[in-house]
């Protein structure tokens, strides 16, 4: 599991850089759009579509970093009152459900991306293909699923440890 976790952390760090570049790209496009429309009367064509697509990809790529840093909301206040073994059981359940959810998101992302690609689906104004962004979203969820799998295994080990009984 250590190897999987290290790959997931590496991919999560890569996702953070992609997210950073996505935010910079969005800021750049918005600045160009505002300056172009206010100063020259010529806004960036399709800027809303471009920013929307980049925003979706950017948010998807930083989910793994948030998972790695335990930045997601949890209800630790209630779980902390349970015995140690029950706490581990709750972590097993949430890790299992999270892992299954992310595997399903990845599967459906690739399936939906293929449908969009075959249908030649494009945005309304500037005709950007939507499929690559859906594929990117699915790929961005892989490190998070890997982290959830590692969390699941760690929680199972905790739950079955003799000192938690």
User: Domain span at residue 150?
Assistant: 2-164
Question: pLDDT value at position 74?
Answer: 67
CA 126 – CA 106 distance, rounded (Å):
27
pLDDT at 77 over 90: no
In Å, what is the CA distance from 63 to each residue of 15, 36, 101, 139?
Answer: 8, 33, 14, 12
Model pTM?
0.83
Question: pLDDT value at position 81?
Answer: 85
Question: pLDDT value at position 32?
Answer: 95
Number of domains in the chain: 1
Mean pLDDT of 97-120: 96
């Amino acid at each position: 599991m250590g190897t999987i976790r290290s790959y997931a952390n590496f991919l999560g760090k890569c996702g953070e850089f992609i997210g950073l570049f996505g935010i910079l790209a969005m800021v750049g496009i918005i600045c160009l759009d505002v300056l172009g429309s206010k100063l020259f009367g010529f806004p960036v064509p399709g800027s809303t579509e471009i920013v929307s697509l980049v925003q979706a990809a950017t948010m998807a790529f930083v989910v793994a970093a948030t998972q790695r840093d335990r930045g997601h909301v949890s209800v630790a206040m209630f779980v902390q009152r349970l015995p140690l073994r029950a706490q581990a059981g709750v972590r097993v359940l949430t890790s299992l459900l999270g892992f299954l959810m992310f595997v399903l998101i990845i599967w459906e992302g690739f399936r939906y991306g293929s449908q969009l690609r075959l249908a030649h689906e494009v945005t309304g104004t500037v005709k950007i293909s939507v499929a690559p962004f859906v594929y990117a979203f699915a790929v961005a969820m892989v490190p998070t699923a890997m982290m959830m799998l590692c969390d699941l295994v760690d929680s199972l080990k905790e739950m079955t440890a003799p000192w938690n009984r």
